[in-house]
Amino acid sequence: MHGTAAAGAASNPETGAPRRLFLSAQGIAKAYGGVKALNGVSLALREGEVHGLVGANGAGKSTLIKILAGLTAADAGRITIDGAPVTIAAPHEASALGMSFIHQELAFIPEMSVIENIMLGLPKPSRLGFIDWRAIARDIAPIAERVGLNTPFHAKARSLSTAEAWLVNICRALVRKSRLLVMDEPTASLSAREAERLLAIVEDLSRSGVAVLYVSHRLDEILRLCHSVTAFRDGESVADLSGDALTRERLMEAIVGGNVETMPAEARANHDRGTVALKVRGLARAPMVRGVDFELHHGEVLGIGGLVGAGRSELARLVYGADRPHEGAMELAGKPYAPSSPTAAVRSGLGFVPEERRSEGLILTKSVAFNMQLANLANIVRSPALPLIDTRKRRSQTEAIVKSLAVKTPDTETTVGRLSGGNQQKVVIGRWLLRRPNILILDEPTRGVDVGARGEIHRLIREIAAEGMAVMVISSEPDELPDLCDRILVMVEGRITRELTGEDMTRNAIVSASYASAA
Amino acid sequence: MTDISTSHRRLSPGTKAGLAFFARYATILGLIAMIVAFSLLSPRAFPTLLNFTNVLNQASLAIIIASGLTMAVIVGELDLSVGFAASLHGILVTGLIVATGLPIPVAILVVLAVGALVGLVNGLVVTKLKVNSVIATLGIGTILTGLAFAYSAGVPIVSGVPEAFLEISLGRWLWGIPNNIVVMAVVVVALWVLVERTSIGQEIQAVGGNPAAARLAGISVDRIKILGFVISGMCAALTGILLASRLGSGTASAADGYLLTAFAAVFLGSATLRDGEFHILGTVIGALVIAVGFNGLNIFGAPTFSQYMLQGGILIVAVGLSSLGRSIAER
Ligand SMILES: Nc1ncnc2c1ncn2[C@@H]1O[C@H](COP(=O)(O)OP(=O)(O)OP(=O)(O)O)[C@@H](O)[C@H]1O
Ligand SMILES: [Mg+2]
Q: What is the pLDDT of residues B272-303, one digit of tens each?
A: 878 778 999 999 999 999 999 888 888 888 88
Ligand 1 in reach of A63 Cβ (< 6 A): yes
Q: Which of A447-456, A472-481, B140-149, B202-211 has the lowest mean pLDDT?
A: A447-456
The reported pLDDT for the residue numbered A5 is 41
Q: Do A347 and B218 touch (CB under 8 A)?
A: yes
CATH topology of domain A4-256: Rossmann fold (3.40.50)
**How confident is the model over A345-364, as a mean pLDDT?**
93
The reported pLDDT for the residue numbered A450 is 84
Most confident of A158-162, A263-267, B76-80: B76-80
Q: Is residue B237 part of a domain?
A: yes
Among the bound ligands, name the one nearest to the CA of residue A218: 1
pLDDT at A282 over 70: yes
Which CATH number do you get for residue B112? Answer: 1.10.3470
Q: Which residues contact B176 (CB under 8 A, 6 or more apart)?
A: none
Tell me, yes or no, if B200 comes closer than 8 A to chain A by beta carbon: yes
What 3-state DSSP class applies to B170?
helix
**How confident is the model over B229-255, as a mean pLDDT?**
92
Sequence-ordered alpha helix ranges (H) in A57-113: 61-68, 91-96
Q: Which residues contact A383 (CB under 8 A, 6 or more apart)?
A: none
Q: Do B5 and A365 touch (CB under 8 A)?
A: no
The confidence band for A470, taking pLDDT boundaries of 50, 70 and 90, is very high
Q: Do A342 and B3 touch (CB under 8 A)?
A: no
Tell me, yes or no, if A389 comes closer than 8 A to chain B by beta carbon: yes
pLDDT at B183 over 90: yes
What is the best residue among A236, A419, A429, A449 to mutate for testing ligand 1's pocket, by most ligand atoms within 8 Å of CB? Answer: A419
**Alpha carbon distance B219, B196 (integer Å):** 17
The reported pLDDT for the residue numbered B9 is 45
**Which one has a higher pLDDT value, A306 or B61?**
B61
Q: Is residue B15 part of a domain?
A: no
Q: Is residue B3 part of a domain?
A: no
Mean of all residue pLDDT scores within chain B: 88
For residue B292, the enclosing domain spans 23-330
**How confident is the model over A434-452, as a mean pLDDT?**
90
- Residue-by-residue DSSP string for B99-151: TS---HHHHHHHHHHHHHHHHHHHHHHHHTS---HHHHHHHHHHHHHHHHHHH
Q: Which of A267-281, B111-125, B141-155 has the lowest mean pLDDT?
A: A267-281
The CA–CA distances, whole Å, from A193 to A184, A187, A199, A200, B191 equal 19, 10, 10, 11, 53
Most confident of A182-186, A209-213, B174-178: A209-213
Per residue in A97-119, pLDDT (tens digit) is: 999 888 776 666 777 888 888 88
The confidence band for A158, taking pLDDT boundaries of 50, 70 and 90, is confident
Nearest to B197 among A363, A375, A388 (CB): A388
CA of A88 to the centre of ligand 2 (A): 20
Residues of A in contact with B190 (CB under 8 A): none
Q: Is residue B8 part of a domain?
A: no
Name which of B226, B214, B218, B183 is nearest B67 in CA terms.
Answer: B183
Q: Enter the ipTM.
A: 0.85
CA of B283 to the centre of ligand 2 (A): 37
pTM of the model: 0.82
Report how many domains make up chain B: 1
Q: Is residue B226 part of a domain?
A: yes
CA atoms within 13 A on the CB side of B55: 23
Q: Is residue B142 part of a domain?
A: yes
Interface test with B, best of A365, A429, A432, A436 (most B CBs within 10 A): A365
The reported pLDDT for the residue numbered A512 is 84
